[in-house]
C-alpha cells in the first residue's frame, strides 16, 4: 500500500506530463484523479498498525524502507488533501500560461516528494525524497522567470546548505550506528552522549530550520512565496515549509525521544528552551514586518514565517499540550494560508496587480471571494469559532501555566501584528471605493471557488468542533510518550480552565439572531451608491475617494527603524565578502600568456630556490 | 445553581447595555459640569436611541449591515464571559485568553461594516483604532499575563474568587505594579480623551461611525456603551475584586447576595468610570503617534517590571 501511493504519485506526475502534450483537459482531470486516489489510499491507512516495508533492497548496499505511524499519517493525509484542492485551483489559474505541462509535472513531483518524506522509514529515503521536493520547488519558484529567478536562486542556496547539514548528520549517524532506520536509531541514540546528540540536533535543526523558515534561516521565504505562481505558493506555505516541522518532530520526539530532547541542559539554557526563544523571535519580528509590506503576497509570506514560529514554539516547548497545539496549528495553517494564497492569487489574476495601494472596492464585484478571504483572515487572526483560535489558545495556556509568561507575551503580541496586517489585507483589497478600472472585474469560475469554499467551511467546522482533529493529534502525542489529553468534541476539558466552543457558538448564534431581529424590525433602509457618502458637503470624488496608501503610517514611523531585517543584511554582507574574495582569486587569471609564463617562471624559481636548500646568500 | 446561570445569561447583557448607556449619559453631564455648563439629562442617550430606531437610514450593502450586527453580538457575548458581580454565566470556561480574543469581534465587525461605507474618514478612524489598540494591548497583555501567572490560572472567575478571599489585587504586592500600569492605559482602552483619536469628532467626523445613521447609529452607540462597560468591568474584576467588599464584611448568600454583589460591582464600575471622565475632561486630544509613544513608554515599562517581578517571585 505504501509503495503503491508513491508509485501512483510519481508515475502520475510523469504520465500527466506526457498526457498534457496530447490534450490539456485530460491532463488536468488525470492529475486530479491521481491525487484523489492518493487521498483515498492515505485515508484508508487511518489508524493502521505502524508497519515498515522495504521498497528498494540494496541501494548502494542499503535497504530503503517506508513506514507509517500515526504522526506520518496525519502529515500525509494533510499533504494529499491540500494537493487535491490546489490541483483543482490550478485548472483555471494556469490557463494561458506557458509550459503548463512542466507546471503540472513539477507540482505533482513536489507533492509526491512530500508524500515520500512523510512515509519514509529511514533517513536515506527521507533525504532522497527531501531532495526531490526541494529541487522541483526551485524550478516552480522561478517558474515565472523575471523577478522569480533571483528568488529561486536564493531559495536553492539556502536549501543546499540545509541539505548538506542533513547529509552530514545522516552520514555521521550511519558511521556511528551502522543503520539509518528510524526505529533502530531511537534505541541507539538513547545511549549516546549529550555532546553527540547536540551535534546531531544542531545539524538537523539547520536543515529543518531552513525549510521551516525559523529566524535566522528565514530570508529565502518572503521573495520565494511572493514570486511563485499562486497555486504553488499555497503548497509552499501550507505544506512544504511544514515538512521542516515534520522533520523536527521526527528527530526530536520520534528518533531521540522526549527524555533526551528535554534533558539537554537546564533552565533557560536548555536546548529546547533556546529553540523556543528563537521561535518567539520568529513570531514577533516577521509578524510586524508583514504589517509594513505593500505587496499582498509578501504580507502573506512574512505571515507564514510568523505562523511557523507558533508551530515551532509548540513543537519545541516540550509539553503534551504544546506539541498538540503545534501540530494542530500546522493543520490549521495549511487550511487558512492555502486559502489566502489562493484568494490573493485570484485577485492578482483578475486585476493583474497585487499592490495593496492599487486595489480596492472589490467586495462589490466578487462577494464570494470576499467572504472566503474574510474566513481565512479570521482563522489567521484566531477569532473564536475558527480553527486558528483553538490551537493558539492551547499554546498560550500551556505557556502560561508552565510559568513562561514571556514566551506567551511574544506569542500574544504576534497576534496583534496578525490583526493589523490581516485587516489591512481585507480593507485594501475589498473595501473603499471601487476604482473605474476594476468596474468590469467578473466573478471567477466554479473550479477556482470550489477549493476556497471547501477550505473556508473546514476552517469554521474545525473551529467549532476542534475535537475531530484533536482526537487524531492526541493519538500522535500519546504515541510520542505524552500523557493523553481529555479531548471532547468541543475542545479539551481540564481542571485548569477549559474553553467550550459550543458555548461560544450557541451564545453567538442566539445573540446574533436577537440583534438581527432588532435590526430587521426597526425602520427600513435604502441602499445607496458608493458615491453617496459623507464629505461635509463637498462633492464626492469618483473612483479614488479611498484611504489605502500608507494605511498604518503613524505606526510605521515608530516601528520601521526597529524592524530592519538585520539577518538579511548579514547575509548580504556575507555574499559581498564571498564576492570580493572570488573576485580577488579570479584576478590571477588575467588571460595574457605572458602572465602565465611569469607564474610558471616564478614557480620554477621558487622550486629551484627550495632545491638549493633555501640559502640564497 | 442552574437558575442562577439562566438569570446570569439573561441579566448580565441587560445590565451591561443599560450601564453602558447610562455611563455615557453621566459622562456628558460630568464633562458639562467641569466646563461650567448645565449639560443634557442623564437619560439623553436612551432618548436618542429610541429616536434613532425610527429613522430611515441609508445602507451601503450587506457587509455594512452584518458587520455591525456581528459587532454588537460579539460584544454582548463577551459580557456573558465576564463576571458581572456574582452573575457569571459562562465565565468559568475559557477565561482570560478567550476574552482577549472575543474582545476583537466588536471592533473588527465595526471595521468591516464601516469599510464597505467607502469613506476615507472611516478608514482613517479604523487605522487609528488599530494602531491605538496595538499601543495599549502591549501593556494590557503584560498585565493580564502578570495576573494569570500570579494566580496560576487562566480563568477570570478564579481570579475574582481568589481576591474575595485574599483581598484586592490592586492593594496587594506585587500585583499593585500591573494595577498601576492598567490605570495608566485605561483611558486609552475606553477611547476617551486624550485618546479619542479613532472617533475624533471635530477632526475626522467620528471616524468609523461617519456613515451611520438611524438604526446603524443606534446599534453602534449600543456597542460603544457596551465596550466602555467591558473595558472597566475587566479592570474591576481583575484588580478591584469584582463583587467582593474589603475588610471583614461578607455578602449574604442567596438571591439577595447576588443582587448586592451586582450593586457593589456596578458601584466600582461607576467609580472607575468617573475617574476616567475626569481625565477625559481635563486633557486635549493627542495625535495617534503621540498616544502610542506614551503607551509604549511608562505604562509598558511599568507593566514589564510588574511581569518580571511576578515571574521572579
**Burial call A153-176: b when 16+ CB within 10 Å, e when fewer:** bbbbebbeebbebbbbbbeebbee
Structure confidence at residue B248 (pLDDT): 60
Percent of chain A with pLDDT over 90: 6
User: Dihedrals φ, ψ of A215, to 5°?
Assistant: -55, 130
Structure letter (DSSP) for residue B93: B
Cell numbers 474545525: residue: A462
Whether residue A192 has pLDDT greater than 80: no
Please tell me which residue, A98 or A459, carries the higher pLDDT value.
A459
How far is residue B30's CA from residue A313's CA, in Å, rounded to a whole number? 49
Structure confidence at residue B224 (pLDDT): 86
Structure confidence at residue A456 (pLDDT): 92
Pick from A193-197, A326-330, A612-616, B166-170: least confident: A612-616
CB contact under 8 A, B56 and A524: yes
Structure confidence at residue A376 (pLDDT): 92
How far is residue A298's CA from residue A293's CA, in Å, rounded to a whole number? 6
Structure confidence at residue A377 (pLDDT): 92
Structure letter (DSSP) for residue B152: T
User: pLDDT tens digits, residue range B275-306?
Assistant: 888 888 888 888 888 888 888 888 889 989 98
Nearest chain B residue to A371 by CA: give it: B63
- CB atoms under 10 Å from CB of A554, counted, come to 19
pLDDT band at A605 (very low <50, low <70, confident <90, very high): confident
Mean pLDDT of A585-589: 78
Domain extent listing, chain A: 265-520, 552-586, 589-617
Q: Are strands A526-527 and B58-59 parallel, antiparallel or unpaired?
A: parallel
Mean pLDDT of B148-173: 81
Mean pLDDT of A100-104: 83
How far does the CA of residue B118 sit from the closest CA of chain A (Å)?
Answer: 4
Q: By the CB < 8 Å criterion, does A496 face chain B?
A: yes
How far is residue A214's CA from residue A589's CA, in Å, rounded to a whole number? 40
User: pLDDT tens digits, residue range A42-79?
Assistant: 888 877 777 777 777 776 667 788 888 888 888 988 99
Structure confidence at residue A366 (pLDDT): 85
Structure confidence at residue A604 (pLDDT): 87
User: pLDDT tens digits, residue range B222-246?
Assistant: 888 888 899 898 898 888 877 777 7
Question: With contact defined as beta carbons under 8 Å apart, do B300 and B263 qualify?
Answer: no
- Nearest by CB to B130, which of A420, A496, A522? A420
Mean pLDDT of B263-270: 87
Percent of chain B with pLDDT over 70: 97
Whether residue B94 has pLDDT greater than 70: no
CB contact under 8 A, B97 and A396: yes
User: pLDDT tens digits, residue range A119-171?
Assistant: 888 888 888 889 888 888 888 888 887 788 888 888 888 888 888 888 888 88
Q: By the CB < 8 Å criterion, does A406 face chain B?
A: yes
Structure confidence at residue A375 (pLDDT): 92
Pick from A108-112, A254-258, A396-400, B144-148: least confident: A254-258
pLDDT band at A457 (very low <50, low <70, confident <90, very high): very high
pLDDT band at B1 (very low <50, low <70, confident <90, very high): low
Q: Which among A124, A224, A109, A120 has a CA at the least distance from the CA of A174?
A: A124
Burial class from Cβ neighbours inside 10 Å (0-12, 13-18, 19+) for residue B189 reads buried
ipTM: 0.89
Structure confidence at residue A575 (pLDDT): 81
Q: Which set of grid coordinates corresponds to residue A81?
A: 488533501
pLDDT band at B201 (very low <50, low <70, confident <90, very high): confident
Domain extent listing, chain B: 2-312
CA B77 remoteness from chain centre: 13
Helix (H) or strand (E) holding B58: strand B58-59
Structure confidence at residue A123 (pLDDT): 86
Average pLDDT, chain B: 84
User: pLDDT tens digits, residue range B127-137?
Assistant: 888 888 888 88
Average pLDDT, chain A: 84
Structure confidence at residue A615 (pLDDT): 61
Greatest mean pLDDT among A241-255, B187-201, B250-264:
A241-255
Pick from A18-22, A544-548, A600-604, B287-291: least confident: A544-548
User: pLDDT tens digits, residue range A356-392?
Assistant: 888 877 887 888 888 999 999 999 998 888 888 888 8
Structure confidence at residue A545 (pLDDT): 76
Contacts of B152 in chain A (CB under 8 A): 401
Q: Give A497-542 as a DSSP string.
A: -B--HHHHHHHHHHHHHHHHHHHHHS---EE--TT---STTSPPPS
Q: Which set of grid coordinates corresponds to residue B273?
A: 468610570
Structure confidence at residue A191 (pLDDT): 78
Whether residue B249 has pLDDT greater than 80: no
Contacts of A405 in chain B (CB under 8 A): 145-146, 148-149, 307, 310-311
Whether residue A496 has pLDDT greater than 70: no
Structure confidence at residue A233 (pLDDT): 86
CA B269 remoteness from chain centre: 10
Partner B, chain A 82-141, Cβ-Cβ below 8 Å: none
Structure confidence at residue B55 (pLDDT): 84
CB contact under 8 A, B53 and A523: yes
Contacts of B107 in chain A (CB under 8 A): none
Contacts of A367 in chain B (CB under 8 A): 62
Question: With contact defined as beta carbons under 8 Å apart, do A223 and A151 qualify?
Answer: yes
Question: With contact defined as beta carbons under 8 Å apart, do B130 and A419 qualify?
Answer: yes
CB contact under 8 A, B94 and A511: no
Question: With contact defined as beta carbons under 8 Å apart, do A208 and A123 qualify?
Answer: no
CA angle A157, A159, A162 (to 5 degrees): 115
User: pLDDT tens digits, residue range B54-74?
Assistant: 888 888 888 888 888 889 998
Partner B, chain A 435-474, Cβ-Cβ below 8 Å: none
Structure confidence at residue A441 (pLDDT): 77
User: pLDDT tens digits, residue range A202-230?
Assistant: 888 888 888 888 878 888 888 888 888 88
pLDDT band at B161 (very low <50, low <70, confident <90, very high): confident
How far is residue A194's CA from residue A211's CA, in Å, rounded to a whole number? 25
Nearest chain A residue to B135 by CA: give it: A555
Amino acid at each position: 500500500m505504501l509503495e503503491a501511493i508513491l508509485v501512483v504519485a510519481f508515475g502520475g506526475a510523469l504520465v500527466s506530463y506526457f498526457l498534457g502534450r496530447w490534450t490539456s483537459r485530460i491532463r488536468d482531470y488525470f492529475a486530479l484523479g491521481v491525487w484523489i486516489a492518493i487521498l483515498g489510499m492515505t485515508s484508508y491507512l487511518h489508524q493502521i498498525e505502524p508497519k515498515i516495508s522495504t521498497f528498494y533492497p540494496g541501494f548502494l548496499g542499503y535497504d530503503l524502507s517506508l513506514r507509517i505511524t500515526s504522526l506520518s499519517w496525519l502529515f500525509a493525509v494533510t499533504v494529499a488533501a491540500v494537493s487535491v484542492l490546489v490541483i483543482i485551483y490550478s485548472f483555471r489559474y494556469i490557463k494561458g500560461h506557458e509550459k503548463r505541462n512542466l507546471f503540472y509535472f513539477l507540482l505533482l513531483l513536489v507533492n509526491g516528494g512530500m508524500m515520500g518524506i512523510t512515509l519514509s522509514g529511514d533517513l536515506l529515503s527521507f533525504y532522497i525524497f527531501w531532495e526531490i521536493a526541494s529541487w522541483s520547488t526551485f524550478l516552480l519558484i522561478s517558474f515565472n522567470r523575471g523577478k522569480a529567478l533571483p528568488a529561486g536562486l536564493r531559495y536553492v542556496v539556502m536549501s543546499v546548505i540545509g541539505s548538506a547539514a542533513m547529509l552530514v548528520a545522516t552520514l555521521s549517524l550511519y558511521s556511528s550506528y551502522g543503520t539509518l532506520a528510524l526505529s533502530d536509531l531511537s534505541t541507539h541514540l538513547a545511549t549516546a552522549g549529550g555532546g553527540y546528540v547536540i551535534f546531531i540536533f544542531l545539524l538537523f535543526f539547520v536543515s529543518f530550520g531552513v525549510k521551516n523558515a525559523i529566524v535566522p534561516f528565514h530570508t529565502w521565504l518572503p521573495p520565494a512565496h511572493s514570486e511563485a505562481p499562486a497555486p504553488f505558493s499555497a503548497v509552499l506555505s501550507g505544506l512544504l515549509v511544514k515538512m521542516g516541522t515534520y522533520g523536527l518532530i521526527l528527530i526530536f520526539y520520534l528518533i531521540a525521544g522526549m527524555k533526551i530532547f528535554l534533558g539537554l541542559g537546564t533552565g533557560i539554557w536548555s536546548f529546547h528552551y533556546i529553540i523556543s526563544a528563537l521561535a518567539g523571535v520568529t513570531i514577533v519580528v516577521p509578524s510586524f514586518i508583514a504589517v509594513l509590506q505593500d505587496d499582498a503576497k509578501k504580507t502573506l509570506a512574512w505571515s507564514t514565517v510568523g505562523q511557523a514560529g507558533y508551530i515551532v514554539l509548540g513543537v519545541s516547548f516540550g509539553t503534551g499540550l504544546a506539541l498538540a497545539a503545534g501540530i494542530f496549528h500546522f493543520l490549521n495553517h495549511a487550511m487558512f494560508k492555502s486559502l489566502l494564497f489562493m484568494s490573493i492569487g485570484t485577485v492578482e489574476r483578475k486585476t493583474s496587480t497585487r499592490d495593496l495601494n492599487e486595489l480596492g472596492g472589490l467586495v462589490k464585484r466578487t462577494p464570494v471571494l470576499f467572504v472566503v478571504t474574510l474566513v481565512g483572515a479570521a482563522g489567521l487572526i484566531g477569532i473564536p469559532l475558527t480553527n486558528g483560535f483553538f490551537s493558539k489558545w492551547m499554546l498560550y495556556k500551556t505557556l502560561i501555566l508552565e510559568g513562561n509568561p514571556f514566551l506567551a507575551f511574544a506569542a500574544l503580541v504576534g497576534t496583534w501584528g496578525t490583526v493589523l496586517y490581516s485587516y489591512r489585507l481585507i480593507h485594501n483589497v475589498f473595501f473603499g471605493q471601487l476604482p473605474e478600472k476594476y468596474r468590469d472585474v467578473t466573478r471567477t469560475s466554479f473550479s477556482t471557488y470550489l477549493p476556497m469554499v471547501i477550505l473556508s467551511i473546514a476552517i469554521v467546522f474545525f473551529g467549532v468542533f476542534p475535537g475531530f482533529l484533536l482526537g487524531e493529534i492526541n493519538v500522535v502525542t500519546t504515541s510520542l510518550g505524552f500523557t493523553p489529553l481529555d479531548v471532547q468534541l468541543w475542545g479539551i476539558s481540564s481542571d485548569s480552565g477549559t474553553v467550550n466552543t459550543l458555548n461560544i457558538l450557541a451564545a453567538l448564534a442566539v445573540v446574533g439572531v436577537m440583534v438581527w431581529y432588532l435590526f430587521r424590525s426597526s425602520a427600513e433602509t435604502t441602499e445607496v451608491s458608493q458615491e453617496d457618502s459623507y464629505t461635509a458637503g463637498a462633492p464626492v470624488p469618483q473612483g479614488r475617494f479611498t484611504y489605502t496608501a500608507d494605511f498604518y503610517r503613524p505606526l510605521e514611523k515608530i516601528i520601521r527603524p526597529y524592524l530592519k531585517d538585520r539577518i538579511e543584511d548579514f547575509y548580504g554582507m556575507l555574499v559581498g565578502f564571498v564576492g570580493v574574495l572570488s573576485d580577488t582569486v579570479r584576478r590571477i587569471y588575467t588571460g595574457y600568456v605572458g602572465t602565465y609564463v611569469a607564474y610558471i617562471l616564478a614557480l620554477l624559481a621558487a622550486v629551484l630556490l627550495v632545491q638549493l636548500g633555501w640559502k640564497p646568500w | 445553581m442552574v437558575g442562577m446561570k439562566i438569570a446570569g445569561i439573561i441579566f448580565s447583557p441587560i445590565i451591561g447595555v443599560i450601564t453602558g448607556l447610562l455611563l455615557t449619559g453621566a459622562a456628558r453631564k460630568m464633562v458639562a459640569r467641569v466646563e461650567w455648563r448645565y449639560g443634557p439629562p442623564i437619560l439623553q442617550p436612551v432618548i436618542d436611541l429610541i429616536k434613532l430606531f425610527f429613522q430611515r437610514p441609508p445602507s451601503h450593502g450587506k457587509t455594512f449591515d452584518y458587520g455591525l450586527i456581528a459587532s454588537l453580538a460579539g460584544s454582548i457575548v463577551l459580557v456573558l464571559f465576564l463576571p458581572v458581580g456574582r452573575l457569571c454565566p459562562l465565565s468559568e470556561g475559557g477565561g482570560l485568553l478567550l476574552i482577549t480574543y472575543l474582545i476583537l469581534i466588536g471592533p473588527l465587525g465595526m471595521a468591516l461594516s464601516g469599510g464597505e461605507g467607502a469613506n476615507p474618514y472611516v478608514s482613517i478612524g479604523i487605522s487609528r483604532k488599530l494602531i491605538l489598540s496595538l499601543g495599549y494591548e502591549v501593556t494590557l497583555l503584560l498585565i493580564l499575563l502578570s495576573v494569570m501567572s500570579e494566580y496560576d490560572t487562566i480563568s477570570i472567575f478564579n481570579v475574582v474568587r481568589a481576591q474575595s478571599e485574599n483581598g484586592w489585587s490592586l492593594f496587594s504586592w506585587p500585583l499593585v505594579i500591573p494595577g498601576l500600569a492598567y490605570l495608566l492605559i485605561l483611558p486609552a482602552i475606553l477611547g476617551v480623551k486624550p485618546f479619542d483619536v479613532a472617533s475624533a469628532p471635530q477632526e475626522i467626523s467620528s471616524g468609523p461611525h461617519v456613515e451611520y445613521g438611524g438604526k446603524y447609529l443606534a446599534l453602534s452607540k449600543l456597542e460603544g456603551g457596551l465596550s466602555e462597560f467591558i473595558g472597566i468591568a475587566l479592570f474591576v474584576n481583575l484588580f478591584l475584586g469584582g463583587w467582593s467588599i474589603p475588610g471583614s464584611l461578607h455578602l449574604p448568600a442567596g438571591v439577595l447576595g447576588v443582587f448586592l454583589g451586582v450593586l457593589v460591582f456596578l458601584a466600582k464600575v461607576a467609580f472607575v468610570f468617573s475617574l476616567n471622565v475626569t481625565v477625559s475632561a481635563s486633557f486635549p486630544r493627542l495625535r495617534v503617534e503621540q498616544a502610542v509613544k506614551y503607551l509604549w513608554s511608562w505604562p509598558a515599562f511599568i507593566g514589564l517590571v510588574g511581569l518580571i517581578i511576578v515571574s521572579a517571585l
